[in-house]
Structure 1
Amino acid sequence: MHGKLWCSTINEVMEPIVQRMEKQVVKCIARSWLIGTALLLAGCAGGDESRARDVVSSFYKMHQSVRPIGALTLNELITFRHFMSVNLFDLLKDTSVAEEARIAQSAQADADPLPPLVEGDIFTGNPAGASTFRIVNCDIGERDSKCAVELIYSDAKLKAPAKWTDQVLLTRDARGWVIDNIEYAKGAAPMRSGTLQAVLTKLLKRDTLPLQ
């Protein structure tokens, strides 16, 4: 009898203690899960920025190696294809096709060559191109991102190097981050203004005079 009372008393004392311990364990697990989730999300965000920077950096390194002038050639289209979104690549390709058509038209007519559709480097705000680049910062979103890139063009003929900042707009597709547009830095001529996509679209619509 005394044994049963003793067990009953022990159970009454221990039950609330066990319940409190269970609640504390649940809280600890929940807290750990929240912390882990936050760290995972932070890691994903950091990884996203790193991947976006890698794409932009690789693009400009390739750009410095190729140094494209005017509408892209077939080899240049192939070289830059994997950096570009479908929309941007289609515009670049259509511009190259239009340029080839103008050259063929001049040859068939045995006339003086028509002025090029694109004059200079289409990928930078400065038609003369860029000598060096530096990624200043990147603003990363879920589907779209933007990286500010400082560009410098040096030439012995210039009193001082030209410096400006273009904005590279990225979007996400099945391949990951790809370049969808370039927002040119605004400045006095010969610096371009607007965006790469807008310039190409305008160029293809009028297809008459060279675009500077």
Structure 2
Amino acid sequence: MKYQAIAALAPLALLLSACTTVQPAYKDTGTRMSPCVEGGPDTVAQKFYDLRTGQPTQGLPNAQLLAKYRPYLSDKLYQTLLKASGENGRDPALMQGDIFSSLPAGPDSASVADASTIPNTDARNIPLRVSLSRSGSKPVEWQDEVLMVREGTCWTVDDIRYTSQAPHLDGGSLSQRLLK
């Protein structure tokens, strides 16, 4: 009798365990063969901007600088930048000014919004606001948006949307501008 009760409850237990299994929104987040930076999307984005403000540059990055940025950049953005920096007849607008921000002088400080306010922890991409500023005789503050994507277990910068009043590069975002 005892064995009959257990045998009768076994299918019910299997059915209930199937109901409580949680599946992530995305099972496969892809792979990434290159090195990456540890941390969540906001941490990686902040580290990228800390590198940019600590070592500011103008125009398209050369191969040496791209190698330094590689752990922070998505495969797609890295390849697009690599192609754009190697092309003959480069766009003069991409040779001057900071291509990673809306303003040509670029920021000297940046603060990335906290990603903990993003409700979906299974997200593959997350846009984050970045508060940027440039000190000087006329201090300037503006915001841009950085699109972070998950590649394997890494978060990387996939695009930068120029959201200030009058961005110095047209196209709306870094990727769109590079593809022109």
TM score, norm. by length of structure 1: 0.60
Find the counterpart in structure 2 of residue 136 from structure 1: 113
Find the counterpart in structure 2 of residue 73 from structure 1: 62
Q: Which runs of no fewer than 5 residues in structure 2 stay unpaired?
A: 1-15, 25-38
Find the counterpart in structure 1 of residue 145 from structure 2: 167
Structure with max Cα Rg = 1
Q: Which runs of no fewer than 5 residues in structure 1 stay unpaired?
A: 1-29, 42-49, 104-113, 203-212
Contact 2:170 2:177 in 1 (8 A): no
Of Structure 1 and Structure 2, the greater helix share is in 1
Find the counterpart in structure 2 of residue 120 from structure 1: 97
Q: Could you tell me how far apart the structure 2 residues matched to 1:174 and 1:69 are?
A: 31
Q: Could you tell me how far apart the structure 2 residues matched to 1:137 and 1:189 are?
A: 24
Superposition misfits of 4+ residues, deviation over 6 angstroms? none
Q: Could you tell me how far apart the structure 2 residues matched to 1:82 and 1:177 are?
A: 10
TM score, norm. by length of structure 2: 0.70
Offset at residue 117 of structure 1 (A): 3.8
Find the counterpart in structure 2 of residue 97 from structure 1: 86
Q: 2:177 aligns with which of 184, 192, 199?
A: 199
Aligned positions, number: 148
Offset at residue 179 of structure 1 (A): 0.8
Offset at residue 177 of structure 1 (A): 0.8
1:92-150 CA deviation, whole Å, 9 max, x = no partner? Answer: 1112112xx459xxxxxxxxxx9564311111111110011112343355211111110
Find the counterpart in structure 1 of residue 72 from structure 2: 83
- Structure number with higher relative contact order (C-alpha < 8 Å, ≥ 6 residues apart): 2
> Partner of 1:78: helix, strand, or coil?
helix
Check 1:118–1:142 CA distance in 2 against 1; reply closer, same or farther (3 A cut).
same
